[in-house]
């Protein structure tokens, strides 16, 4: 009886070590950067779930957060979106496209003199509301949104 | 190895404007090729920007960023001659680092 128990324990120990080694190996590419990719937020399929994963469960609208995007995008594959936050102590901005399969498009943290504004080009699969979420140093979240009409979708590439 | 990024960094008053063009397919994982097979997702996940040796921007991106992404940022407190270093890593672990100096 006792030998079987020993063997089981040994077996369990070996598998554990292997799993740890594998995990360490797999984690290597992301260790280059301090921040790990926020899988929960980027793989969420609905905007409310994204906001929750970002920690922005409760947020308020703000006129000091500016979102510039075209009213109508002829090509959904390349839609220029600019976000500027005039909210004091903005430390990060995230951009969401509500109707995309994975709404969260980009999330940027700003430090050491970087101004809280960014320009990106996004893909829109169809006409959708584009949302920007700004986070301040004291942990408050502010949002702004705008609908962009798409005549040709961006799913093709 | 992915193609080099194009980085343009220029002083506008006391603010440095940084524009970066990354050469990347940014496959969403939703698209089908001509044979009807899904093209696996392949996209940039993490971006960092350093100016003058300081980390100023740390970004994460998803599949809805367009092919050959262009990002623009503004950084205060930088000066002409400062080095801008941009780094990205994609979901397959491929990465690329490029640098440029801020012009006046």
- Asked if B30 and A101 count as a contact pair (C-beta separation under 8 A), the reply is yes
Q: Check whether A1 has a pLDDT greater than 80.
A: no
Q: What is the pLDDT of residue A22?
A: 46
Mean pLDDT of B90-94: 94
- Give CA–CA dist A18/B22, Å, rounded: 37
Inter-chain touch B46–A33, beta carbons under 8 Å: yes
Indicate the average pLDDT of chain A. Answer: 82
Query: Does B35 score more than 70 pLDDT?
Result: yes
Per-residue confidence (pLDDT) for residue B1, from 0 to 100 = 58
- pLDDT, residue A21, reads 45
- Could you count the other beta carbons within 10 Å of the beta carbon of residue B34? 5
- In this prediction the ipTM stands at 0.90
Average pLDDT over residues B71-84: 94
- Give the CA diameter of chain A: 75
Q: What is the pLDDT of residue A24?
A: 47
Whether residue B66 and residue A38 make contact (CB cut-off 8 A), yes or no, is: no
Looking at residue A18, its pLDDT comes to 47
Rounded to a whole number of angstroms, the distance from the CA of B81 to the nearest CA of chain A is 17
Those of residues 46-75 in A touching chain B at CB distance below 8 A are: none
Q: Which residue of B has its CA nearest to A106?
A: B61
Average pLDDT over residues B32-49: 93
The pLDDT value recorded for residue A58 is: 84
pTM: 0.81
Strand partners, A148: A128
Tell me whether residues B59 and A107 touch, CB distance under 8 A. Answer: yes
Q: Report the pLDDT averaged over residues A112-120.
A: 93
User: What average pLDDT does the segment B71-75 reach?
Assistant: 95
The pLDDT-based confidence of B51 (bands split at 50, 70, 90) is: very high
Tell me the pLDDT of chain B averaged across its residues.
94
For residues B53-67, give the mean pLDDT. 95
- Say if the Cβ atoms of B69 and A121 lie within 8 Å: yes
Whether A26 contacts chain B with CB within 8 A: no
Distance separating alpha carbons of residues A82 and B71, to the nearest angstrom: 10
C-alpha A80/C-alpha B6 separation (Å) is 18
For the cut 60, the answer to whether the pLDDT of residue A55 exceeds it is: yes
Q: How far is B100 from chain A (nearest CA, A)?
A: 17
Q: Residue A57 has what pLDDT?
A: 82
A123 touches chain B (CB under 8 A): yes
B95 to chain A: closest CA residue: A29
Q: Which of A80, A118, A30 is nearest to B66 (CA)?
A: A80
For residues A112-137, give the mean pLDDT.
94
DSSP for chain A? Answer: -HHHHHHHHHHHHHHHHHHHHHHHHHHHHHHTSSSPP-HHHHT-SSHHHHHHHHT-SS-EE-TTEEEE--SEES-TT-EEEEEEE-STTEEEEEEEETTSSS-EEEEEEE-TTB-SEEEEEE--SSSEEEEEEEEETTS-EEEEEEEEEESS-STT-
pLDDT digits (tens, 9 = 90+) for A59-78: 899 999 999 999 999 889 99
Closest chain B CA to residue A41: B62
Per-residue pLDDT reduced to its tens digit, A6-50: 565 555 555 554 455 444 444 433 333 446 889 999 999 999 999
Cα–Cα distance between B62 and A101 in angstroms, integer? 11
Tens-place pLDDT, residues B15-34: 999 999 999 999 999 888 89
Q: Supply the pLDDT for residue A102.
A: 95
Given a cut of 90, whether residue B49 has pLDDT beyond it is yes
Instruction: Show residues of chain A in contact with B26, CB under 8 Å.
Output: 123
Mean pLDDT over A97-112 rounds to: 94
Q: Which of B62, B72, B82, B96 best probes binding to A when mutated, by most A CB atoms within 10 angstroms?
A: B62
B20 bridge partner residues: B7, B71
Mean pLDDT over A116-127 rounds to 94
């Amino acid at each position: 009886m006792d030998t079987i128990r020993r063997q089981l324990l040994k077996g369990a120990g070996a598998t554990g070590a292997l799993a740890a080694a594998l995990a360490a190996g797999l984690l290597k590419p992301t260790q280059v950067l301090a921040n790990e990719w926020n899988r929960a937020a980027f793989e969420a399929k609905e905007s409310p779930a994204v906001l929750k994963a970002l920690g922005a469960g409760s947020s308020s609208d703000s006129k000091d957060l500016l979102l510039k995007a075209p009213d109508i995008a002829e090509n959904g594959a390349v839609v220029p979106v600019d976000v500027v936050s005039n909210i004091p102590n903005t430390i990060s901005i995230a951009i969401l496209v509500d109707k995309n399969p994975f709404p969260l498009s980009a999330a940027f943290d700003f430090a050491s003199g970087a101004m809280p504004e960014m320009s990106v080009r996004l893909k829109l699969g169809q006409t959708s509301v584009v949302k920007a979420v700004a986070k301040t140093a004291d942990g408050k979240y502010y949002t702004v949104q705008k609908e962009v009409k798409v005549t040709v979708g961006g799913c093709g590439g | 190895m992915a193609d080099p990024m194009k980085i343009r960094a220029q002083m506008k008053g006391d603010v440095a404007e940084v524009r970066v063009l990354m050469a990347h397919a940014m496959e969403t994982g939703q698209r089908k090729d001509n044979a009807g097979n899904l093209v696996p997702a392949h996209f940039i996940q993490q971006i960092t920007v350093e100016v003058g040796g300081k980390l100023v921007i740390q970004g994460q991106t998803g599949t809805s960023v367009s092919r050959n992404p262009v990002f623009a940022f503004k950084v205060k407190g930088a000066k002409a001659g400062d080095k801008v270093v941009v780094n990205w890593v994609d979901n397959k672990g491929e990465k690329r680092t490029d640098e440029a100096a801020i012009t006046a």
